[in-house]
Chain A
């Protein structure tokens, strides 16, 4: 039995009405301290070392928590960062590397980045470039392998060179759309495996169609998350449709979207842009009320 002053962060039954009462030692044994720490870790995902218990007991408590599989740093004990990252990715979340620590608890930005890169090394996540930011995506995400990126770069560089004469201010020339399409077709594997243009990425192999409706819904939400405009907070429905195109046809995706909307899992919004939808976009948007097209989706 050891007597110790209990930290208020642990929420012990101490009176806070007077300082003297707060300092009054409370007798707890090691197993009780460990149980409290496990409870906090279960609830919050981390606990400060200073809040673990009396100083003499701390190393013993940390030892037991480590044995449970928790990670300990100088100042905190936490659920392993890799595990936290894996959980976050399981929900289909895309995690920008720079802000990875905001998805985790009990870790610094540096530790979060290190943990993320470890996951990539182990093949438990992919690191992709989205606009300018490196982003961690689930291992199930459809990504392009490095070799394909290299060959795409070569072809695109050649393509740019061929377009260079048109960039001159003195030039009044342009291209036939069919010629441009032909040039773009030279980029390896840009052609979608099924009908409609795909935004899944270069060279992605079609995956078997998800069987259960729950699984389909999960795929839908992953596609909505992946195509979400960070600033606007909305996903453009044609992009969602194209992303799912190899696995699902347009009608199935529309049915899924409408079903999810009916179940109030997501909100479908009518297009109110200034006539910006192409004919293909119009086909990819489910029809909405009063002649509108539902072109934007938002998870609720």
Chain B
């Protein structure tokens, strides 16, 4: 007998189903709602006086900070646009990153409506003098108009906005307002362009642009987006888990950079509602003290300390959850007995998360077990301690697998969009990995450099380039810069295997070969599994910092405990990227050089085809072609097919596109 929310011990800001006790910490959610209302009101009545609001919500782990985001989404629906941002650890957050996140999340569904539809629909509603409560109706109504009438209506709405705020970026807004009325591949391309992401040639064509959004457009774009939205569905940007910005090991100014970013947003971008969320004690011990006075005055406008549920609220919360359980044999207080319920409602320091964990345990173990003990018992013997440690390790293993599954899901989503992972995600992953590789130490990270991450290995410095660009021109430009870097420093270039260069990109491939001719340069094709591990490790460590990782009994684990488990269980040092950065030969190198070392007589493609098949076992023909061409530029699809034909006794085909090596070969 399970219910989805029993597994969701950590709030999912974008969860569809939602169980909420509205009275719990109502003052904090009311304050945010009031701020949203005020922004909308001022935007409509006194546009010149429009400003951004900033609120801070603090509370212990499990008190319901992230839950507030879900509550507001459920309560306000399409009357606001919600953006949830977890801070970057490795890279400084910039206005471009914020713009990227806002526009990316415009594509998310909230209250049954895609947020970009809610934004445009509420603007249409306001322009037509109606309530902004039903934006989808106005979007559908406009979509049914003939193209000329629709364009006229959108133009009219645009000119109303420009009358209100003359400094808005007209061309950016024009593209934004048209998104809900464009067909699927085009609207995705336009949203990607609006987010400031670099596009490949096909996407650029779809978006009707010739280049990505320039750096000089980013802040005007943010201003335009925030001001325009404020009239209908104001944008609420929630920075969650800010305690992750605290860095006790590295000398860094991440907190200061974050404060500067949000201060700039408050000052320069009007119409945003910014909500900062962090652990209460860390905010005052480490976060706020690192801000200067100007930053404090802007970011400390309003502060709300989340309270823990009162005994009455605890009972109401448990009742609410139990009511949602399917097939319950008895009524509430089942699965608790009266005594256990009394303990849960009366015990000091009980957070909503703890209550949920207690409920989950009671459902799993049954009311008798729940009534017999308080769900907690100290291990008494050495055997108990060992068993306890084993169960904790199992729980951590399960948590790791969850993060790994999430990372794979993200990688699949990104691969579907035919693009690489956002470099800042990979950067955070690499920095997390470095914590477990004593031989390597992060020196600094700068997104604007061709090699974004500098790593110290003993007295040497390794420059790591995350080659994430989708467009061959920007890749070419970066490779040229990397050739310069490789003259004086060791360079490791990382490109995801899933986004390898097509064989037709002759210029790019030539530049890569030129780079790899330098002894200092090394190429690493990041396999899906390696990328997933980096992402999962980063997410897990961030969760541990926010006290969101628990053991088998639901007890919060210290960050050090999680780190110790990673150290003992994941063997981070043997990860391919870690080996490559330490200058060791990787499995990939071995496979590739075995092909390269083949005798010249058989070198053409035969050795390479066999080597690739031995290494990868089963792959598509397209992938095989890419693999071979990457190593041997003169190889062609035809020559590879002919080679495969000559190896007919050793290979098998699935249809015409999948090839694999026979087991007995």
Binding site for B on A (CB under 8 A): 229, 231-234, 257-258, 261-262, 264, 267-276, 286, 288-292, 294, 296, 298
Contact = CB atoms under 8 A, between A and B. Distances in A.
B349 A294 contact: yes
Given A232-B281, A272-B62, A290-B358, 13 more contacts: A233-B305, A264-B311, A267-B308, A267-B348, A269-B60, A270-B349, A272-B61, A275-B560, A288-B347, A290-B376, A296-B60, A296-B281, A298-B307
A290 B545 contact: no
A270 B376 contact: no
B252 to A, nearest CB: 16
Given A232-B280, A288-B349, A274 B243 contact: yes
A264 B58 CA distance: 21
A267 B284 contact: no
B547 interface: yes
A229 B350 CA distance: 22
Interface stretch (B401-409, B455-463, B506-514, B550-558): B550-558
A277 to B, nearest CB: 10
User: Interface residue tally of chain B, by bracket?
Assistant: 35 or more
A7 to B, nearest CB: 35
A258 B243 CA distance: 29
Given A231-B284, A269-B308, A272-B61, A290 B556 contact: yes
A95 B60 CA distance: 28
Contacts of B248: 274
Given A267-B308, A269-B308, A274 B348 contact: no
Given A274-B246, A275-B558, A291-B556, A286 B348 contact: yes
A234 B554 contact: no
Contacts of B310: 264
Interface of B: 58, 60-62, 243, 246, 248, 279-285, 288, 305, 307-308, 310-311, 346-351, 354, 357-358, 375-376, 545, 547, 553-556, 558-560
A22 B598 CA distance: 109
Which residue of A272, A291, A292, A298 has the most chain B CB atoms within 10 A of its CB atom?
Answer: A272
Nearest to A292: B349
Contacts of B279: 272-273
B553 A290 contact: yes
Which residue of A258, A267, A286, A290 has the most chain B CB atoms within 10 A of its CB atom?
Answer: A290
Given A231-B284, A233-B305, A272-B281, A290 B554 contact: yes
Given A270-B349, A272-B547, A296-B281, A290 B559 contact: no
B553 A261 contact: no
Given A262-B348, A290-B556, A272 B60 contact: yes
Given A272-B547, A273-B279, A274-B243, A288 B348 contact: yes
Contacts of A273: 279, 281-282, 285
Contact of A270 (B284, B351, B357, B558): B351
A234 B280 contact: yes
B282 A274 contact: yes
A290 B354 contact: yes
B281 to A, nearest CB: 5
Contacts of B243: 274
Which residue of A262, A269, A276, A289 has the most chain B CB atoms within 10 A of its CB atom?
Answer: A289
A290 B357 contact: yes
